[in-house]
Chain A
Amino acid sequence: GAGVSQSPRYKVAKRGQDVALRCDPISGHVSLFWYQQALGQGPEFLTYFQNEAQLDKSGLPSDRFFAERPEGSVSTLKIQRTQQEDSAVYLCASSLVGRSSGNTIYFGEGSWLTVV
């Protein structure tokens, strides 16, 4: 497709379960971002990749959160031992070029995670 694609769109996980969220960025986009958006809040930065390199992971809330982009295209955000406070929409975004913060970033529709 032409846009950023995320799957699954909706995920219900039992507390303690591991989840994996997938992001397919726009083809050829160098930069990839993950954001977490809690209900009624703005998106919060989690991590950033330039190609396969994870250049910034300062926003990951704990060591239960792990992201990878092994071939510089598709990315996976993994959350281990999910907790209720992990319930949020996880947004993936991509942009065409690397180190230029004025570039337009394109967002996917998000993966809605509910931990019960």
Chain B
Amino acid sequence: AQSVTQLDSQVPVFEEAPVELRCNYSSSVSVYLFWYVQYPNQGLQLLLKYLSGSTLVKGINGFEAEFNKSQTSFHLRKPSVHISDTAEYFCAVSVYSSASKIIFGSGTRLSIRP
């Protein structure tokens, strides 16, 4: 079975500071990896995904994530955050052979201080 761990439930940062949201996964088979963002009272929106190839993935809104197979991690980073980045961020995995399930972590709430 697969699982996703987001170690930080909340991350407060100052505006224009860098941020890293941590994600670790567990799987005995190869997986695809995703980061989704959920703004208040809205649905989930895909930020970026790793399928194969380069381990550094760039997404929307200036976010990027790096796949580290040996550490089973897929941390999300942004060099300079804005107030508009305030949201809940979810890391997720799906298995190559499964068309159906995306398994989500419990989420990290990013709060930006002016």
Contacts and interface: CB of A to CB of B under 8 A. Distances in A.
B82 to A, nearest CB: 23
B102 interface: yes
Interface in A4-43: 4, 31, 33, 35, 40-43
B43 A101 contact: no
B41 interface: yes
Nearest to A91: B43
A82 to B, nearest CB: 22
Contacts, number: 67
The main secondary structure of chain A at its interface with chain B is loop
Nearest to B41: A109
Given A33-B100, A48-B101, A4 B43 contact: yes
A98 interface: yes
Interface stretch (B14-22, B61-69, B70-78, B90-98): B90-98
Contact of A104 (B49, B95, B100, B107): B49
Interface string B37-55: 0000111111001010000
Contact of B43 (A40, A42, A104, A110): A110
Contacts of B98: 101
A47 B94 CA distance: 14
Interface string B1-41: 00010000000000000000000000000001000100001
B103 A45 contact: yes
Contacts of A51: none
B107 A102 contact: no
B107 A45 contact: no
B107 to A, nearest CB: 5
Interface of A: 4, 31, 33, 35, 40-45, 48, 50, 55-56, 59, 91, 93, 98-102, 104-110
Interface of B: 4, 32, 36, 41-46, 49, 51, 90, 92, 94-107
